[in-house]
A and B are shown apart, each in its own frame.
Chain A
Amino acid sequence: MEIKDQNEMNFDLNAENIKAQMRKGVLEYCILSILRKGDSYVSPLIAELKEAKMIVVEGTLYPLLARQKNQGLLSYRWEESPAGPPRKYYSLTEKGHKALEVMDEAWGDVIKTVDFIKNGTTALSKEI
């Protein structure tokens, strides 16, 4: 087993932590965005998030869904599945749609800001 330098290890942890933190914030935005395209149950939701490399373990999703439901952004209904247990079909509520609009705006601002800081030129400068 290779023993890593203490500093390197710390950095590794931090990088993981930062990634995880960023992912979590964005994840909620992503869930709502996927549901905007249409009601869905967990499997396709997971498939899409995995494909986009948004989540690593599926378990992450459930607490988020539960919280968003409790916040009134989502609602769900039970529907039969051809095989297996009945599925919870999630859909955006009115409140969810509004929250998503706000998030869209915020996300756009963040992109512009980060772009501006990194490159110095972009949409933001054009606006100014």
Chain B
Amino acid sequence: MEETIKVSIGGISFAVNKDAYQRLSLYIKDLENHYSTKPEGKEIINDIESRIAELLLESHTKDEVVSAERVDEVIKIMGRPSDFDEEEQGEKGSETKSTFQARPEEPATGSDTITRRLFRDTTDRVIGGVCSGLAHYFKISPVWVRLFFAIFLVFKLFKFGFFFHFRSFVGSISSLMILTYIVLWIVIPEARTRIQKSQMFGRDPGVKGVEDEYNNPDQPHGKWLGRLIKIFIGLILLLIAFGLLGAGWFAFLGSNKFFGVTPVSIMDYLQMPWWWGLLGKISAVLFIVLPILALTYAGIWLIFSLKRPKWHPGLIMFALWILSIIGLSVFSSDKVFNMASSTSTFKKEFVKSYDTLYVEYAKLPETLDGEKVEWMKMADYIDEAVGKNRASNYVVDWDVKSDNGEDEVHVNDESPYDRDYLLYTTSGKKNKKYALYPKIHVLFKNSSSIVTEEDSLGNITTKIVKDETITPDLEVTVEKILSSKKFFKEGDDEEAEEKLVEIRDSLIILHPNIASKKRKFDGALVSTKLFLPDSSVVIIK
């Protein structure tokens, strides 16, 4: 069997037989000797090699073994260096080396000949080729980059955590890294062509070989400082983006811990047409997400000096962002939402004066919207969601201190949530429902007075006199925290008051205001003030 040798000519591999190899070697040597002293010698030899490859491909398929005869023909077409008859024959040096060489196992591991470019290597990929692309860019093994991302994925999937702080931290970092991967996947182009593949490794596409970086005119040293500044600015932009992402993450997903829903989906629980909610949601998400995306994009773009895409992503993002601002301002405009809350107060009458009054919280419905529901106190839900000790950090202060200096009795002091308004929620994460009981303040009227009397003898006696005629009062206040002239009907307040606060003789029944995605929250907060003679007793069930 004839011995064949694999060689790389002009970046393309050929199988040649031994004779052909020797002839080619000699020819290339000849060229090297001829051009060794010329500055453009290397380039000329590379060009000639490319042409030889092209000529060989004209008559050979890639796998066919190249014969000595064919090599001779090609050399004849190309001509010997002496035939070129270029002016002086320089002294023979050995500086210039041809790239013609027995094919090495790995691509040349020397210095770069051209600027390294970041591409996704889809020929060596697990998901999108991002890791291998990054590895090529930083001249490391893809294994390390993959390991780096894989660790975060594992953390994310299995929720490793030894104690709360660590889990929370690792969890958000992991989410961030996974998001980063996705962003990189989108932003980094795939290495499709041979040129791009060569650039990915920092090789000259024409030659698969070693060239000295310092001899390369394509990369003047002056550009280094510019590159460095670009990378620095890019890193800062990325840092800001990550910071914003953290904040956005917290506002949109992390705050799950507030009410069991994200602020964005809270809109689903408010009484407004669906399209209005949609406008608000899209605008809000775009408003937060776009700057993060833009910063990330700009950062990556600067660091890896990527090509500017034709579709102007920056401009599009900016335009969308402006639109989102317009959307948000329309959404929350004064005409629709009157954020300044309106209040109306009603008096409820008791039939007569009672010594003992009862306050009862009506039972929560067991089924709602055709579903069986399990209620739990908001405070308990939060404890479960974020961990007992951390709950206080997430507390929304519903407490409204009375401003008239009256002595206030808090009905329930268990947690800041239900100190005033008792808020219940359903367990589970999906399709949450909320039940808000009216707030009750018990205030005592001074029914006794100290009466000083002087008799005819001049004796002064003081006695406490009780005024038995004072009857309890119940004042119901309906406060609209969201009042939209457009979406909320007039006369709602009275309806709410009648629906939620009921008096049956000496019993005050507080009904929950229930909100779900089907029964939207009308924005009414109902609070009651119970004025009692200080001789009375209140029993709260």
Contacts and interface: CB of A to CB of B under 8 A. Distances in A.
A65 B47 contact: yes
A80 B47 contact: no
A52 interface: no
Contact of A88 (B84, B86, B206): B206
Contacts of A57: 76-80, 83-84
A128 interface: no
Contacts of B47: 42, 62, 65-66, 88
Contacts of B38: 63
Contacts of B53: 84-85
A115 interface: no
Given A63-B84, A70-B40, A80-B195, A86 B205 contact: yes
B216 to A, nearest CB: 14
Interface residues of A, number: 25
Given A80-B193, A86-B195, A59 B83 contact: yes
A78 B51 contact: no
Given A63-B44, A65-B47, A70-B40, A86 B83 contact: no
A18 to B, nearest CB: 13
A26 to B, nearest CB: 15
A67 interface: yes
B48 interface: yes
Contacts of A1: none
A122 interface: no
Nearest to A83: B57
Interface string B172-196: 0000000000000000000001110
Nearest to A81: B54
A79 B81 CA distance: 27
Given A86-B195, A88-B47, A78 B84 contact: no
A60 to B, nearest CB: 5
A57 B83 CA distance: 8
Nearest to A70: B40
Interface in B8-24: 10-12
The B contact surface, by secondary structure, is helix
B50 interface: yes
A84 B86 contact: no
Given A57-B78, A60-B84, A63-B44, A42 B51 contact: yes
B83 A60 contact: yes
A39 B35 CA distance: 27
Contacts of B77: 57-58
Given A59-B78, A62-B48, A78 B83 contact: no
B79 A58 contact: yes
A43 interface: yes
A60 B47 CA distance: 12
Nearest to B85: A20
Q: Which has the most chain A C-beta neighbours within 10 Å: B35, B48, B81?
A: B48
B195 A78 contact: yes
Interface in A64-112: 65-67, 69-70, 78-80, 83-88
Contacts of B85: 20, 24, 60
Nearest to B31: A59
Interface string A15-57: 0000010001000000000000000001100000000000011
A80 B197 CA distance: 11
Contacts of B473: none
A115 B141 CA distance: 70
B43 interface: yes
Given A43-B54, A80-B193, A59 B205 contact: no
A60 B83 CA distance: 8
9 contacts: A42-B47, A43-B54, A56-B79, A57-B80, A57-B84, A62-B47, A63-B38, A67-B40, A86-B193
Interface of B: 10-12, 35, 38-40, 43-44, 47-48, 50-51, 53-54, 57, 76-81, 83-86, 193-195, 205-206
Given A43-B54, A66-B40, A85-B12, 19 more contacts: A42-B50, A57-B77, A57-B78, A57-B79, A58-B77, A59-B48, A59-B80, A63-B35, A63-B38, A63-B40, A63-B44, A65-B47, A67-B40, A85-B11, A85-B194, A85-B206, A86-B11, A86-B193, A88-B50
